[in-house]
Structure 1
Amino acid sequence: MVTSDVATSDVLTVEALAVRTGISGEQAQELIDRLGNDRAAIEQAARNLKGKQRLGE
């Protein structure tokens, strides 16, 4: 596995993404499932999602 790849079954990776970006674990898993192993795309999508949540608050 390349270090930039995300294992979809790695619960710690999902939770780390959620904590790092401020989204829920469920949202993090959905992004990983949808975007595959592209860590940069996942991180960007998570930040965008969090930004949209903040606008709605």
Structure 2
Amino acid sequence: MEQAINDGFNQGFKEVYLWAYTQIKREGWTPPDIIYASKPSGTYSDAHYVTLSCDGQMK
């Protein structure tokens, strides 16, 4: 579930919908912190540094 949500945001979607929201909340799932990368996803031909960050606290 979390991978699908991250994939949606990483593809640049403005919104990601959870159709099974009631069921996953009942089972104790909580949304992960969003992780941001300093470079966009893609294929690169040379090496470079990437910085990862998030708005929330680590769980």
Q: TM-score, normalised by structure 2?
A: 0.23
Whose relative contact order is higher, 1 or 2, with alpha carbons under 8 Å and at least 6 apart? 1
Q: Which has the larger radius of gyration?
A: 2
User: Which structure's residues are more often helix, by fraction?
Assistant: 1
TM-score scaled by length of structure 1: 0.24
